[in-house]
Structure 1
Amino acid sequence: MLRKSVFVTALMASTAAAAQQAPSPTEAHTPPAAAPGNEIIVTAQKREQRLLDVPISIIAKTGTELQNAGITDFNDVAARVPNLVINDTPANKQITIRGIGTTGNSFSFEQSVALFVDGVYGGRNRQYNQPFLDIERLEVLRGPQGALFGRNTSAGAIAITTARPTQELSTEAFAEYEIRTQSTNATAIVNGGITDTLSIRIATRYADDNGWLRNTTLDRDEPQSDQFLGRVSMLYQPRDNVDIFGKLEYSRVDITGSAFEYVPGGERPDYRKDSDDAFSPERDNADALNGVLQIDVGIGDHTLTAITGYSGYDFAQAFNIQARRPTRLVAENAEEFSQWSQEVRLLSPTTGNFDYVIGGYYEWSQSLVDRAQIFDFPPPFSPLSPDQIVERSFDQQTDVLSAFVQANWRFAEQFSLGAGLRWTRISKNAEVEGTTTSFIVPPGAPTPPPGALPRVTPLLLDGEFSESSFAPSASLNWTPDRNVTAYVRYARGEKGGAFSEFQAVTPETFFLLPEFSDLFEIGVKAQFPEIRGFLNVIAYTTDYRDLQRSALDINTAEFITSNAAGARTRGIEAEGGFSPADGLTVSAAIAYLDATYTSFPNGPCAVDNPAFNTPGCAEDRSGDRLENAPEWTGNIAVDYDQPVNDTLRVFANATLNFQSDVNYREFDDPREVQQAFSKTDIRAGFGDIDRGWELALLVRNLFEERTSSLIFPTFPVGLGPNDRVHVPDALRSFTIQARISF
């Protein structure tokens, strides 16, 4: 039968990697035939290939590896993937690859790093907020991926493949209990055949997190979360050349409180906050519904694939942006989003000297966003509370049509040439309307009499555009044998134009130009079967033009959107590992990054500018380093997994993750720098030799490094010039893990 599900071994030899590859007692002394790292099967080029054979910088993780490491969403993935940085901003996640990503708290911008789940595109920021459930593998593709992976991949792409149903009857349960916060997480999976041609897989997950930041005012730990996820997948195979896969999943995530902590100048986070729920309780409540229908039909030695996808969510949130009392600024955001997409592609066989993928894609989406900011100015500005309310409603519809082709020609025994091209047309129409209601009384002015009307300023903007672009790619590959691949690659990435829904939007900042990137990359991937070793080394340089940016004006608590003229990122990425003894694996990954603005004549003022505190201050930032772009990132892992007798095995893992200094904001302010750090996670346990059950203890952040995933200045009224708001990372945790399957 035509099978699309693929078993993937671990790239970084984590605990799961050792578990997947550990030999049975009778095989313990048999030399392995292949290296674990580069024998991974990935689908980065729309077909199943060894990672070794793909001329792209890829990090791949199995679902078991993520589960064993306690990774349940995107925030924790970054520590295991060099050159990937994920921040929780006040409103949503900010994801960057090689120093480039979508900045600010916009809900109208698509991401520069696109998400694909079971082949369905997700470019909205909030689509990254859904937790993981029953994942087969996760692939992080670094650098532009425009030809094959659709639109908005100017910086990279993250592709998730969920587990497919099989005919084999099986049941699995996985549970975690974190001792320090008394948090729980439980997953249950049932899989099997209903008939000889129909298989079903049901997966559910419930989790509650009791938080790690103490709110002394409300006498609770924050952020508290309650999550439920459920998925039903079915695979129908009526004939040997037909696969029909369907999936429907629902998720609900309710969060109480926030992870923001007010930190006075010169101090460090102490994991305590003093904030109330004035004006609006701090919360983030989200629901999401996703579905996919994929039909694969064998036509001779070709495969025709059609993927119909739906993705929708709604959420409502509110947070005290200063994270302290008295409340001076509360932000409220809400969005309803829905998207339909259809992709059709034809895949040729790879038995000859020429193969190809050709296809088309259509997408329609609508986004309805409501935003509000509630200001409370201290006397002598006004005796009223609140003093100003800024409200905005944003309505946007998007239509996308594209066609793509990728071909490979093996013109000599050891050489091949690959080329790809994608044409995309994007049409958007949008409207933003709202009001600014002001009760502000300037110092010295008489207080208005009771019943006096506030000053109301209306706003109404609308626009539409349609644009087309081409994203080419090409690679020259040298494969002297099955254990070595060297390549040179060029790729263009693009990110479509956008409208802004920020509270401070003006006719001049309402529309942003599309963003383009040009990548040149050279790489070598090799494996060494005699020591079960592998080594990948990749060097790259990428130029960006019309980079879409949003910069915070702390004097007004508003974001200003613009197109930065240009930026350049370049660096080296290396991953490797080997097995010095049976059951023992050592691996490492490291990345060096140089990321600067090549031209930014109207950028936000740096902190050393004398006019820094002037509203609207701008200066030439050409040559400055990009924010969220640490120079060094990486990890080192040691895994051990061995049987101790005919029925029992023991395993252990230690992973060191490290990162150099990173400046989280665009102001080049040392007060917003997270200093270099390293964190160590360890996991140890035992289980039966057939992997039917296991019990483990996971200790994360063993030495309790205190770090922040975001540091930002905020509305200055009531704060000192050195005060900042931090989003502290969780402290050391002790998690008991148990798994059983049969």
Structure 2
Amino acid sequence: MLRTSLFVTSLMVGTSAFAQQAPDQAPEADTASAQGNEIIVTAQKRDQRLIDVPISIIAKKGAELQNAGLNDFNDIAARVPNLFINDTPANKQIVIRGIGTTGNSFSFEQSVALFVDGIYGGRNRQYNQPFLDIERLEVLRGPQGALFGRNTGAGAIAITTARPSQEVLVDAFAEYEFRTNSANATAVVNGPITDTLSIRIAARYAEDNGWLRNTRLNRVEPQTDQFVGRVSLLWQPRDNVDIFGKLEYSRVDLTGSPFEFVAGGQRPDYRKDTDDAFIPEGDNAEALNGVLQIDVGLGNHTLTAITGYSGYDFAQAFNIQGRTPTRLVSDNAETFNQWSQEIRLLSPTTGAFDYVVGAYFEWSESLVRRGQTFDLPAPRVPDRIIRRRFDQETTVLSAFAQANWRFAEQFSLGAGLRWTRIDKTGEVEGTTTNFLPGPPTTPNQVIPLNLLRGEIDESTFAPSAVLNWTPSRDVTAYVRYARGEKGGAFSEFQNVTPRTFFLRPETSDLFEVGLKTQFPEIRGFFNVIAYTTDYKDLQRSALDINTAEFITSNAAGARTRGVEIEGGFSPAEGLTLSAAVAYLDAKYTSFRNGPCAASNPAFNAPGCVEDRSGSRLENAPEWSGNIAVDFDRPVTERLRAFANATLNFQSDVNYREFANPLEVQPAFSKTDIRAGLGSVGRGWEVALLVRNLFEERTSALIFPTFPVGLGPNDRVHVPDPLRSFTLQARVAF
């Protein structure tokens, strides 16, 4: 089925001029916000046409995400080639072009940075809130250089939430999924308080039942109860002053886990057998996020100040083997707080020269508590408990500038530079308690983990440069260089030593060429981008299954390169065809101290390492993409019909660093369809969404685990949901 998908994609690329969005398209097919007849994004800190931005970007409008049932980051990966997201036992892992940061560490920051309304999020848990009332989502692939700054070595994801306006609006959206009896509802109220002050209130509540049957506890897992609420204000006291404020609270309570034990190299059967021994499985989190943005017009310039707060608390526990008897339960908890301040000055773009200059400050602290409870085949239950605490405080100061010079009618040259200073302090300590065999009065053996303290003090520079050629407003070609960087880190795993406590900073160098075109006569576009990126001191962690601990190190070098093609066109009114495909070649160029591959005879030896230079990166499928057909047009004066079909595909992907065939998800393709009716004025609509129409059975993660009681071919899977049938209803007035 994957071969068919790739053939169709190639045929479309060769025979038609694609369109990323027809300017007059219906909202269901929109892929970005529009201003007039142009697609507008803010990837360079100002409103720009998508075709004018010399970056590989996929943009999705909030209405498109909602209609497709895409409620969080896990869902959008299938719609964005070269974006890969999975849930590790601890946290999400987000990978762009084969590069990402393991979700199992609570000390590493992500190689893919998240920005929500301009506020930076580099922690795993800052990705976990469900989408709510989004105006636009932009996925920027590759290092981002000056404007986005640190920890964008692989890319960035920028979310813009809907802002208040003077328009009176009430919008309600609800979904019910028949197979799992899950439901969610979203409500938005917007309107004026005074002539200069507007308010927007949005809330979402969801009860999701899982897709795995726990035969021991007689329940489905994971079960999720979540609430997100947001209040936004926009005050415009003068024509040249905008003051935007937002406060958002979220709560997510999860019962059970998505992990299934799979014996002997088989595939999941969507049944699990776990109890709640030691600590019940679950994940409970609360988060609070706020932003205050002030924009002041100073003549033709705009001065912007953005103050942000982001904080969360969570506690989780899971049976790492996904089976009974329980041999290993991991529990994690974290309290995180972050304050940030950015100030920037934006010049007009009417002359031959324009620029952005600014400064950024950030302070954050994190307190992590981790535990592992082992039940080995021995007389005492449990046999061992490991506890550890990790504290980290981070201060960041940076300055940045980017300028563009239109030195000829069709050519412009851009350059940027960001200086960043990072100060981190970290402290880790813990204990291992062994319950010795013998009478109940036998004392426990408590072994302390050496208290390790450290400080990281470093300064980095991230330059970028781009040459643009724009022979017309419908064609842009560019050559781009960008440096990405990610600060040094501490290792907080149980087996850490003074020698392995510090990890060096990670850097990347991107060379990219791109061609972006649009064809107004058929409301279409065609983009092709080729790139190569070299990474140095890639921060990595590998699982030692003999101890159920991770070994952290720097991979000396890696290289990712590939081609991304996307586009579409509108052959008839109300009909749009689109496609996107990415090819990725991602390998370690130097990794002499890498974890042993499964083919190594000493693979099961504790601490086994070997030279993995030339090996393919994990979580890096060679091919990924999608093909979509959208239809939306009136059938009467008051009624319109709409339908959408999307085929998402990817090639084989190895989830772990051991190059083991047992941890490979084979190539697959999945089809989603949506059809419904609504009013021509878009005041209401009803639709049926079917996801995974042909019920492809795939796993979002496959990993080896603590070997006691397991065979050499046994694995734990995180199975993807099966086919679902969702009824959607929306009303707005």
Q: CA deviation at 1:20?
A: 6.0
Change (3 A) 1:314 1:38: farther
| Contact 1:38–1:52 under 8 Å retained in 2 | no
Report the counterpart of residue 356 of structure 2 in structure 1.
357
| Contact 1:13–1:586 under 8 Å retained in 2 | no
| Contact 2:19–2:569 under 8 Å retained in 1 | no
Task: Return the match for 1:433 from 424, 429, 434.
Answer: 429
Q: Distance in 1 between matches of 2:680 and 2:464?
A: 47
Task: Return the match for 1:561 from 552, 559, 581.
Answer: 552
| Contact 1:15–1:639 under 8 Å retained in 2 | no
Report the counterpart of residue 451 of structure 1 in structure 2.
441
| Contact 2:634–2:640 under 8 Å retained in 1 | yes
Q: Distance in 1 between matches of 2:546 and 2:646?
A: 42
| Contact 1:178–1:736 under 8 Å retained in 2 | yes
Q: Distance in 2 between matches of 1:156 and 1:436?
A: 39
Task: Return the match for 1:394 from 369, 390, 396.
Answer: 390
Instruction: Give CA-to-partner distance per residue, 1:312-367, whole Å, 9 cap, x none.
Output: 00000000000000000000000000000000000000000000000000000000
TM-score if structure 2 supplies the norm length?
0.96
Residues 1:117 and 2:116 aligned together: yes
Q: Across the two proteins, how many residue pairs are aligned to each other?
A: 713
Letter in 2 for 1:301: N
Instruction: Give CA-to-partner distance per residue, 1:379-425, whole Å, 9 cap, x none.
Output: xxx21011111111011000000000000000000000000000000
Change (3 A) 1:680 1:12: farther
Report the counterpart of residue 670 of structure 1 in structure 2.
661
Instruction: Give CA-to-partner distance per residue, 1:22-48, whole Å, 9 cap, x none.
Output: 9xxxxxxxxxxx999993210010000
| Contact 2:168–2:192 under 8 Å retained in 1 | yes
SS in structure 1 at match of 2:456: strand
Q: Distance in 2 between matches of 1:545 and 1:44?
A: 26
| Contact 1:542–1:568 under 8 Å retained in 2 | yes
Report the counterpart of residue 583 of structure 1 in structure 2.
574
Give runs of aligned pairs for residues 154-303 of structure 1, distance below 5 A: 154-303=153-302
Q: CA deviation at 1:239?
A: 0.2
| Contact 2:19–2:525 under 8 Å retained in 1 | no
RMSD (Å), alpha carbons:
1.7
Letter in 2 for 1:245: F
Change (3 A) 1:299 1:579: same
Q: Distance in 2 between matches of 1:505 and 1:585?
A: 55
Report the counterpart of residue 589 of structure 2 in structure 1.
598
Q: Distance in 1 between matches of 2:217 and 2:143?
A: 46
Letter in 2 for 1:80: R
- Which stretch of structure 1 is more off in the superposition, 495-504 or 478-487? 495-504
Change (3 A) 1:14 1:240: closer
Residues 1:650 and 2:671 aligned together: no
Structure 1: gaps (5+ residues)? 1-9, 23-33, 441-446
Q: Distance in 1 between matches of 2:139 and 2:719?
A: 25
| Contact 1:601–1:622 under 8 Å retained in 2 | yes
Letter in 2 for 1:92: N
Letter in 2 for 1:361: Y
Q: Distance in 2 between matches of 1:109 and 1:277?
A: 30
Task: Return the match for 1:384 from 352, 377, 380.
Answer: 380
Give runs of aligned pairs for residues 12-161 of structure 1, distance below 5 A: 18-19=26-27, 39-161=38-160
Q: CA deviation at 1:448?
A: 3.0
Q: CA deviation at 1:16?
A: 12
Report the counterpart of residue 503 of structure 1 in structure 2.
494
Instruction: Give CA-to-partner distance per residue, 1:158-212, whole Å, 9 cap, x none.
Output: 0000000000111000000001111001000000000000000000000010111
| Contact 2:22–2:524 under 8 Å retained in 1 | no
Q: Distance in 2 between matches of 1:45 and 1:628?
A: 29
Q: CA deviation at 1:504?
A: 2.0
SS in structure 1 at match of 2:38: coil
Structure 2: gaps (5+ residues)? 1-17
Letter in 1 for 2:143: P
Residues 1:717 and 2:708 aligned together: yes
Instruction: Give CA-to-partner distance per residue, 1:655-705, whole Å, 9 cap, x none.
Output: 000000000000000000000000000000000000000000000000000
Report the counterpart of residue 4 of structure 1 in structure 2.
none
Q: Distance in 2 between matches of 1:44 and 1:268?
A: 41
Residues 1:317 and 2:316 aligned together: yes
Percent identity among equivalent residues? 80
Task: Return the match for 1:727 from 705, 715, 718.
Answer: 718
| Contact 2:19–2:518 under 8 Å retained in 1 | no
Letter in 2 for 1:394: F
Change (3 A) 1:709 1:15: farther
Q: Distance in 2 between matches of 1:233 and 1:566?
A: 44
Q: Distance in 2 between matches of 1:282 and 1:297?
A: 50
Give runs of aligned pairs for residues 688-727 of structure 1, distance below 5 A: 688-727=679-718
SS in structure 2 at match of 1:40: strand
Instruction: Give CA-to-partner distance per residue, 1:257-306, whole Å, 9 cap, x none.
Output: 00000000131100000000000000000000000000000001000000
| Contact 2:21–2:524 under 8 Å retained in 1 | no
Residues 1:531 and 2:539 aligned together: no
Instruction: Give CA-to-partner distance per residue, 1:603-662, whole Å, 9 cap, x none.
Output: 000001111001100000000000000000000000000101110000000000000000
| Contact 2:310–2:339 under 8 Å retained in 1 | yes
Q: Distance in 2 between matches of 1:343 and 1:235?
A: 19
TM-score if structure 1 supplies the norm length?
0.95
Letter in 2 for 1:360: A
Q: CA deviation at 1:19?
A: 2.8
Residues 1:403 and 2:419 aligned together: no
Change (3 A) 1:739 1:136: same
| Contact 1:97–1:143 under 8 Å retained in 2 | yes
Report the counterpart of residue 26 of structure 1 in structure 2.
none
Q: Distance in 2 between matches of 1:110 and 1:117?
A: 16
Report the counterpart of residue 660 of structure 1 in structure 2.
651
Letter in 2 for 1:639: D
Q: Distance in 2 between matches of 1:532 and 1:35?
A: 13
Residues 1:413 and 2:409 aligned together: yes
Q: Distance in 2 between matches of 1:725 and 1:542?
A: 33
Q: Distance in 2 between matches of 1:276 and 1:487?
A: 57
Q: Distance in 2 between matches of 1:236 and 1:51?
A: 28
SS in structure 2 at match of 1:607: coil
Task: Return the match for 2:418 from 422, 432, 435.
Answer: 422
Letter in 2 for 1:582: E
Q: Distance in 2 between matches of 1:555 and 1:190?
A: 54
